[in-house]
Chains A and B, each alone.
Chain A
């Protein structure tokens, strides 16, 4: 029998602790859950409304992040210009700034008395306590994931492949859509999943800018504040189950199927 050396043993133990750290709290939540209160949450219309708002707003935020973040990632990955590294570090700012501070910044910038806020309000868009505010806050706290994944993706594509495509007769647009983008797609998908996950779980900025309409984390926070742990736990379990289901679905649809790599 193969004997474990000390290095492998230490690695395995650390790995076990790491997985336990991730999984045990979730398991603990489900094992301590009362069936009756869980089913009450499942039947609670306010819970479903909050979950719906969370997922729809996170979806819009991710799409907006892709529209703005992919061209930005492309530019930062492919063009050489002065200040590129500085701009690249700025794209990570939203991860560094505490999210309550993000909420305060956005409230200050987008309230209807500010110049930017009044400009939007003339277009009928208000950010305080509206779905627009939720999407704006979610997008700001999560767009960094899409930008960094795009940068990594565009840098990972070998320019020789794009040159080959051009030389074989492809226009720059055809090369981008049929060679570059498919190769960057796994990176964009990963960035989108992370961005969506970050957006769904956002609380700090929403507490300040858009408490209403309530998203699932805001409702969770409110139930915990008003009624305590027992009332918040079933909703937490439901949100976790739905998130796990959604992310498993995304991961399964984005992973190459067995045999797809080689169909011969």
Chain B
């Protein structure tokens, strides 16, 4: 197993207590309702938040005590994470400068063309659309050459057609760039489109692990209440059934 992590952290309404494993070059989606502890899980894995107890093994090496910049894990937060005072090109170069490594021009050119952002290089982030912003943020993350990429709701706030466009770029991450991905979302459609493996997180606990077919068959439904008209597995089953019919 490529990444193994056990983390425990007290949150306001429950304790985040989970064990997860990521296989090399797998695209894993952690799915769960808002406030289930998904983003906190990513931040702890990236070394950006403290935990009561954590053990994170990457390729067998314990990285729990390492600072974020030395973990080999890149975290991409929800929303616009581009540095607003830098142009798109400067955002990409930031990765090389921050690590004090020579700019790999061939690799940089490949990433720029692969994500179709050459025409955006001189722009400032505030002049990009939501889809363009996420493409640049992904390209920048790839420039950091991470072993694991953590994506916090990368498709949130995008129109449906932009989501589909970005899905094509996300699918390249394990195949073209050999990156192991953990993507968190509350949308089962994203899991259907991208996930090789799904974790269902509820109140800080993993309640299901499997692929999308197994998710549709076996994932336990949560209680629907006035705030939550349908739990995620129920929602996914509803759409899967509707699409089949």
Contacts and interface: CB of A to CB of B under 8 A. Distances in A.
Interface of A: 160-161, 163-172, 174-175, 178-179, 182-183, 261-264
A160 B79 contact: yes
A172 B127 CA distance: 28
A169 B123 contact: no
Contacts of B81: 160-161, 164
B75 A167 contact: yes
B25 interface: no
Contacts of A167: 46-48, 68-69, 73-75, 144
Interface string B118-131: 01111110110000
**What are the 7 closest A-B residue pairs judged by CB atoms, nearest first?**
A170-B98, A169-B99, A166-B68, A167-B75, A160-B77, A262-B127, A264-B122
Contacts of B144: 167-169
A181 to B, nearest CB: 10
Q: Which secondary structure dominates chain A's binding surface?
A: helix
B95 interface: yes
Interface in B77-91: 77-79, 81, 83-85, 87
B8 to A, nearest CB: 21
B99 A264 contact: no
Interface in B140-197: 140-141, 144
B67 A168 contact: no
Contact of A261 (B97, B99, B127): B127
Interface in B12-35: none
25 contacts: A160-B79, A161-B81, A163-B48, A163-B75, A163-B77, A165-B98, A166-B67, A167-B74, A167-B75, A168-B69, A168-B94, A168-B140, A168-B141, A169-B69, A169-B98, A170-B98, A170-B99, A178-B94, A179-B83, A261-B124, A261-B126, A262-B124, A263-B123, A264-B122, A264-B127
B77 A168 contact: no
B123 A264 contact: yes
B76 interface: yes
A264 B136 CA distance: 16
Most buried by B among A165, A169, A182: A169
Contacts of B75: 163-164, 167
Nearest to A182: B85
A183 B48 contact: no
B38 interface: no
A163 B46 CA distance: 9
A167 B67 CA distance: 9
Contacts of A182: 85
Nearest to A172: B67
B150 to A, nearest CB: 8
A264 B120 contact: yes
Contact of B98 (A161, A168, A183): A168
A159 to B, nearest CB: 9
Contacts of A183: 84-85
A166 B94 CA distance: 11
